[in-house]
Amino acid sequence: AKMFFLLQPRLLLPVLVCLLCAFTWAQERNVILETFDFLRRGQIDANLENYDNNLQMEKEYDFIVVGAGTAGCAIAARLSENPKWKVLLLEAGGPESLIMDVPIVAHFLQLGEMNWKYRTQPSDRACLAMNNNRCNWPRGKVMGGSSVLNYMMYTRGNRRDYDRWAELGNVGWGWRDVLPYFKKYEGSNVPDADEDLVGRNGPVKVSYVNWRSKIADAFLEAVQQDGLQHRDYNGHIQNGVNYLHTTTRNSTRWSSNRAYLYPLKGKRRNLHVKKFALVTKVLIDPTTKTAYGIMVRTDGREHKILARREVIVSAGAINTPQLLMLSGVGPAQHLREIGIKPIVDLAVGFNLQDHTAPAVTFTTNATSLHFEDFADPTLVNRFNRQEGPYGSPGGCEAMAFWDLDHPQLKDGWPDIELFLVGGSMSSNPAISRAFGLKKIIYDSMFAEIEDKELNAFMIFPMILRPKSRGRIMLKSTDPQKYPLIYSNYYAHPYDVDISVRGVQKVFAEIEDKELNAFMIFPMILRPKSRGRIMLKSTDPQKYPLIYSN
C-alpha cells in the first residue's frame, strides 16, 4: 500500500473503484470495508494526514471542540490561529481516506464505517418504501464529518432565509451579516458566478464538474423553456437553473477536513486532534450553568479533559442534542424519565427538520450513468486528467429553483428545488442499499431497467422550507446507544402539497420540451403499465399521491 500511495495514488483510485463495482454486483459488502481499510493504511504510510494515534491529550485546553465535522474542522482551525490558545479537536470516527474523495463513489460511503448509519423510527406516513418503514439518515463519522459523506452540492440558501432568522431575534444572522463569511471561506472557480458576492481565495473549493451528460444539457434547456434563466443560483437571484456547484476541485471532493486541517499539518503545535474519541458527557457546573470540560472515551479508557474558556459542541444534528441531553441539558421531564438529573430545562431535540424529495424516474434513449461502465480504461485515463464521470458527485448534475406560487416573479423565494441525477436506482447497486429500499419495491420499479440494461435518469423535487417538525429523544443513558429519531415527515399538509406540486412540475418539464426527446416512459409505483401518470386525488393527503393506470 505504501508504495502505491507514495508513487501514483491517483492512478490507484480508479482501479479500486472498478474493483468495488465488480464485487458489489456480487453483493460482497465486506470487500467495500476491506478496500476502505486498505486505503486508510496506505494513507497512513504515505503520511497524507496529520495522524495522532500516539497523541497524549493534556488535562486542560483553552477550547475543546466536540466533532471534527463540516463546522468543527473550521472552528478548530480558526481558533488555533491564536498561538496563545490551546485547542483540542475530538472526533468519534477515523481518518478521511483517499477513496472518499472520489465523487462518484458517494453512495458507497454510506455502507462503510464512516457513516453512523442512523435510522428514523418506523412511520405509517413516510418511508413506506424503505425497510421496516424506516429511512436511513447518513451522518459522517469521520474527519470532515458529513462533508466527506454528502453529495457535494454547494448551495448557500436564499437570502430571505437568513433575514428571517435575524427577524426572529438571531442578531448577526441576516444575509448581509453572513455574506462576508461566505466570501471568506469560498475558493470558487465558478466562472459565471456573481462576482460581487463570491469568494475566490478561501479554503473551501467550489467548482463545476468537468463532465456532464446530454441529459443534463437537455434538463437546462427544458427548464429555460419554462421561463427560468440560466444563472448563478448562489448569487443575487436564486430562481433559476444551472449545472451543479460542487465542493470539489480537479474532480476531487473538497471536505472540511481537506480544506481546513490538511494545510495545518505540522504547523500548529497548539492544535491537538484526536480521532476515535467519543465524547460521552459535557461537564456543567449546576450552579453557574457553565461548561467546564468533557468526558471522552478513547484508547479503551475514559478521560476527563477541562476547558479554560469554552466547550464547543459541533457534533451534528443528531449527536449534538443527544450529547446535550446526556449532559443534563434538555426537556426536564424527558431527562427524568430516562434517569438523568436536569441541569437546564430546554427544548433540546425538538424542531427537527429535514427536506424530503421523492425520486421521479424516467427511462431514456440517451446514455446515462451505469456504475459497471467505470471499468472502462478510457475513463480511468480521463480521471487522471481530472475529467470524466468519476468527478460526478454521485451522479448529480444540475439544479433548478422555483417559487411555485409566483413563477413570473424574477426574484421570488423558491419553495421547491429540482435536482437531476444522470442515473437511477439500478445504475449503481449501492444506491438502493444506501436508501434502504425494500426488495419488493426495487423489483417492482427497477428490475426491468436492470434486466434490460436500460438507461434512466431521476429528478428529485425537494422541499426547501418544510413545516413538519420531528424530534430526537434519548433511548438510554448509554452514550453508545443511538437516540430515537422521529422524522414526522409529511405531518403538515403544506409539505404534502409542495411535494405533489413538485412532482407535477417534474412532468411539466418533460412534456413538449427538450427532455421529451430523451424520455421513453415515466416510472412511478407501477412502471410496467406504461400508463398515464396522474394524481389519484386532488386532496394532497390522500395516499398514494400518484399512480399509473
Q: What is the pLDDT of residues 315-349, one digit of tens each?
A: 999 999 999 999 999 999 999 999 999 999 999 99
Domains of the chain by residue range: 2-112+256-319, 205-252+354-548
Please give the pLDDT value at position 510: 80
Query: Does 17 carry a binding-site annotation?
Result: no
Q: Which long-range contacts (CB under 8 A, 24 or more apart) does 138-141 make?
A: 138/110, 138/434, 139/115, 139/316, 139/317, 139/318, 139/319, 140/69, 140/70, 140/93, 140/114, 140/115, 140/116, 140/316, 141/92, 141/93, 141/94, 141/113, 141/114, 141/115, 141/116
- Rounded CA-CA distance 152/144 in Å is 12
CATH superfamily to which 205-252+354-548 belongs: Glucose Oxidase, domain 3 (3.30.560.10)
pLDDT at position 419 is 94
Task: Between 444 and 245, name the one with better pLDDT.
Answer: 245
Mean pLDDT, residues 488-494 taken together: 95
Task: State the sign of the Cα–Cα–Cα–Cα dihedral 9, 14, 16, 20.
Answer: positive
Other C-beta atoms within 10 Å of 286: how many? 11
pLDDT at residue 148, rounded to an integer:
97
Neighbouring CB atoms inside 10 A of 441's CB total 17
Q: Please determine whether the domains at 2-112+256-319 and 205-252+354-548 fall in the same fold group of CATH.
A: no
pLDDT at res. 533: 38
Beta-carbon contacts of residue 193 (< 8 Å; ≥ 6 apart): 232, 234, 235
What is the pLDDT, as a whole number, of residue 48?
57
Higher pLDDT, 547 or 120: 120
Residues, the chain? 549
Q: Which residue has the higher pLDDT, 464 or 361?
A: 464
Does 178 appear as a known binding residue? no
Give residue-wise pLDDT tens across range 225-278: 988 999 999 999 999 999 999 999 988 999 999 999 999 988 999 999 999 999
DSSP letter (8 states) at residue 460: E
At 430, is the pLDDT very low, low, confident or very high (cuts 50, 70, 90)?
Answer: confident
548 has a pLDDT exceeding 50: no
Q: Does domain 2-112+256-319 have CATH number 3.50.50.60?
A: yes
pLDDT tens per residue across span 465-479: 999 999 999 999 999
For 56-112, how does the pLDDT look when each residue is reduced to its tens digit (9 = 90+)?
899 999 999 999 999 999 999 999 999 999 999 999 999 998 888 889 889 889 999
Kindly report which listed range (52-56, 66-70, 441-445, 531-535) carries the lowest average pLDDT score: 531-535
Residue 23's identity, in one-letter code, is: F
